Amino acid sequence: MEKDQIIKDHLISHLKGGEAFLPLVEMLNKIPYSRLGEKPNGLPYSFFELFYHIKFAQKDILDYCSAQNYDSHNWPVDYWPKKAQPDSESEWEELKTEYFEERKEFIDFILDPETNLLASVRNSEHLVLREVMLVIEHTAYHTGQLLIILRCLGLYK
């Protein structure tokens, strides 16, 4: 197997999560819709707010790396929802579906033979590899916070 492919496979494994922590998909299965907006023990974010933030950042970085017409967003306002919980269960289900579809798009982008991990993104000092690692680190960081919320809500031991 080619070195680039080995590296890409490792990155994808970490992008999917679960290498060193509970996979995000399992956390999503543990929280009922009715508890998405709770901020236990004075924590600043609800489960929904954190997941929205993870999803938004992943999509933004994917677009930054791959979209021809990338529009930057206003940090931090655009990266966080304006509410602590979704308005409906269908909105919640749509958010989760979009997250996994966009993660699949990111994986396909990484696996594309034309994707050079050491290439510059948009003629910047940022490499594609840096952006992939940023999504992995960002998701892992906030996944830990999601687990804390689940524990505080008594939904995970």
Residues 101-121 pLDDT 10s: 999 999 999 999 999 999 999
Residue 31 has pLDDT above 90, yes or no: yes
Range of the domain at 111: 3-152
- Letter string b/e over residues 54-88, b meaning 16 or more CB atoms within 10 A of that residue's CB: bbbbbbbbbbbbbeeeeeeeeeeeeeebeeebbee
Q: How many helices, marked H, and strands, marked E, lie in the chain?
A: 5, 0
Domain membership of residue 157 (yes or no) is no
**Which CATH number belongs to the domain containing residue 133 in this structure?**
1.20.120
Q: Answer for the pair 66, 124: CB distance below 8 angstroms, yes or no.
A: no
What's the domain count of the chain?
A: 1
Report pTM: 0.96
Domain membership of residue 42 (yes or no) is yes
pLDDT of residue 1: 65
Domain membership of residue 64 (yes or no) is yes
Largest CA distance in the chain: 49
Domain membership of residue 70 (yes or no) is yes
Q: Residue 14 has which token pair? A: 């970490």
The percentage of residues in the chain with a pLDDT greater than 70, rounded to a whole number, is 99
Residue 21 has pLDDT above 90, yes or no: no
Beta bridge partners of residue 111, listed in sequence order: none
Domain membership of residue 75 (yes or no) is yes
